[in-house]
Amino acid sequence: MSLSGVNEVLSGIRPHGGKVQSRNLDGMGFAEQLQSIGEKMGCSSAEVYQKYLERRYGNVMIQSVENDQKSMDRLGAATSGTGNVVIAPNILEQMAKNPEKAAYYEGKIQQYFQTLPMCQAQLSAMGHEIHSSGVVIHPDGTVTYYVMADLKPEVRAKIEAQIRAEDEAKAKRKREYQRSSEAAAERWRQELKLSAVSADRLNFMEMPDILVCPWV
């Protein structure tokens, strides 16, 4: 099986639009064109269709990704950029054979790319940038658009600088409080000493010259 030269052959395919399949000059529909090319190249219609999708959308990955948070998190961590298209193998087979399914799912893919600039603008306004995003067609036929974003470097640096400044201000207030507490404690100790000295002097001055013992 060889796919060499498929791209040149695919350049002659007329993509379908909406729910109506376009036909080439020989009168063949889109699915028929895929099958014909596959027979000529010794490969399946799904493989030819994958090459066709790659020509239209770029990074197309054929793999099963379940529609759950853990699976989507793994995918987001394993991909980068905004041009990720993931299609389950069973769905790719259906798209290659069923024009209506192909039109439906390609519409979902196109919708992702059409709404991507708006999503990027909204995230940018909030100080974020996209690390990875794309569209996933799951084995059960559901479609998910995913985005993994993080703070822009300059925004993160500004926040970190603000946190450092707040920490330094707290540390400064703590040092000032400790100094004032120590000063207050020292004043209190000095006042206690003065009070004790004054009491001793008072007792000495009030002591009588002659002590009279009642039992002498």
Has this prediction a pTM greater than 0.85? no
Give the pLDDT of residue 19: 44
Angle at 50 (CA atoms; ends 45, 55), nearest 5 degrees:
125
What percent of the chain stands above pLDDT 70? 72
Instruction: Give pLDDT, residue 28.
Output: 63
pLDDT of res. 71 = 94
Whole-number Å distance between alpha carbons of 121 and 126: 9
Instruction: Judge whether residue 141 has pLDDT over 60.
Output: yes
Which helix or strand (DSSP H or E) is residue 204 part of? helix 153-205
Smallest Cα–Cα separation from 106: which of 8, 201, 214, 15? 15
On the question of pLDDT at 18 being above 50, the answer is no
Cα–Cα distance between 19 and 22 in angstroms, integer? 10
Q: From CA 75, how far away is CA 137, in angstroms rounded?
A: 13
Asked whether the beta carbons of 132 and 79 are under 8 A apart, the reply is yes
Burial of 127 (0-12, 13-18, 19+ CB in 10 A): middle
Q: Which two tokens stand for residue 15?
A: 């993509």
Would the pLDDT of 45 be above 80?
Answer: yes
Q: Looking at residue 194, what is its pLDDT?
A: 72
Closest CA to 36 of 61, 12, 60: 12
pLDDT at 143: 96
